[in-house]
Amino acid sequence: MTVSAPISPATRLLRGLRRWLPRVLLVALIGYLALLASLYPNQERLLFHPQPLPADFSFVGRYAPEQAFEEIRIPVEGAVLDGLTTIDAGNTLAVRSSATTEDSPKFSFAGLHDTALAVDDNPAAIELAIKTCWASLWSERSVDYRRRGGEALDAAAMAVVVQQLVRSDVSFVAFSVDPIRDCARRTIISASYGLGEAIVAGLVVPDYIVVGPDGNVEEYQIGSKETMVISAPDGGVRQTPVPRMLGRQPALSNAQAGEISRIVTQLEDRFEMPLDIEGGIAAGTVHLFQARPITTCFAHA
């Protein structure tokens, strides 16, 4: 008789999400902590018993973050490359930052930490992208935000998510509740053409869609959507104009908006918190890239 090992709730949750997620590899916090140990070999307390750093501490001013991280070697040739075989060699990647204190009732770091899109799957490019994400934890904007919020500067750490890049025909940001109107139970979607950077970086006026609890579209405002971000032939991304007639058309059909709403609502129920989700549609299939709690709604829970 074979006895199967129990499945953890986290594993069960991830299996349930698999149909929406691109193939993914996590560079865990231990990699970032190992980096800190390389920078501060004689300060074990910094890693294991965090204490506030001096108020003026920052890589900025001592040396640029990129310069500091260029000197640090990470084991890309080992575990990371082994893990990339699960994503499929030959794919272009998205490398996303995921900090421990990124979203809470007090902090929301959306846009402060870096993401690298259309990264080649070679060791040098992946290593640079990972270190760029790590370095963004110590950018002037990030350090200033943590300092003004009263957070100890060394309280945060950075994991990195490496995903297969989905070349989205349409990208979207969806809120499982309405963060403006008392966190009411309806899905708010912003949608535009190309990769999601156009929406996240505020490069476009996206379509604005409201989907009610019954899954029907209650409101659809068509944005100008004049620019889209796409993969560049030589790596990275570039901006390109959206044809005028296309920009005047809705980026999502009502059926697609309803499908996104159903997915987002299911995820809110699973995580038991309101969520802000980034995703895209490629060849008619919905993909999810990342999710964060809607921190402004915690008071309404």
11-40: per-residue pLDDT in tens? 454 555 555 666 656 565 556 666 665 555
Non-local (6+) Cβ contacts of 63 within 8 A are none
Q: At what angle do helices 123-136 and 29-39 cross, to 10 degrees?
A: 80
Non-local (6+) Cβ contacts of 268 within 8 A are 176, 177, 274, 275
Locate 109 and state its tokens.
């770091």
Q: What region does 61 belong to: left with phi over 0, alpha with psi -120 to 50, or beta?
A: left
Instruction: State whether residue 105 is helix, strand or coil.
Output: coil
Mean pLDDT, residues 164-188 taken together = 92
Query: Tell me: the pLDDT tens digits for 187-240?
Result: 999 999 999 999 988 899 999 999 999 999 999 999 999 999 999 888 889 999
* Nearest CA among 9, 14, 12 for reference residue 24: 14
Instruction: State whether residue 85 is helix, strand or coil.
Output: coil
pLDDT > 70? residue 47: no
pLDDT > 80? residue 170: yes
Residue 30: predicted pLDDT? 54
Residue 60: predicted pLDDT? 38
Rounded Cα distance, 99 and 159, in Å: 6
Residue 56: predicted pLDDT? 46
Beta strands in the chain (DSSP E): 24-27, 93-99, 115-119, 158-164, 170-175, 187-193, 207-211, 217-221, 227-231, 237-241, 275-282, 285-293
pLDDT > 50? residue 176: yes
Q: 27-36, 40-49, 88-97, 175-184: which has the minimum mean pLDDT?
A: 40-49
* Nearest CA among 269, 60, 49 for reference residue 147: 60
Residue 83: predicted pLDDT? 61
pTM reported for the whole predicted model: 0.76
C-beta neighbour count of 91 within 10 angstroms = 16
Read off the pLDDT band of 287 (50, 70, 90): very high
Rounded Cα distance, 93 and 90, in Å: 9
Rounded Cα distance, 261 and 217, in Å: 10
Tell me 298's DSSP state: G
Between 157 and 153, whose confidence is greater?
157
pLDDT > 80? residue 163: yes
Residue 142: predicted pLDDT? 78
Tell me 80's DSSP state: I
Residue 98: predicted pLDDT? 80
């995921």: which residue's tokens?
A: 98
Structural domains of the chain ordered from first start: 23-164 (3.30.1490), 170-300 (3.30.470.20)
Residue 186: predicted pLDDT? 94
Question: What share of the chain in percent tops pLDDT 70?
Answer: 63
Residue 4: predicted pLDDT? 47
- Burial of 290 by CB count in 10 Å (0-12 exposed, 13-18 middle, 19+ buried)? middle
Query: Tell me: the pLDDT tens digits for 113-123?
Result: 888 899 887 77
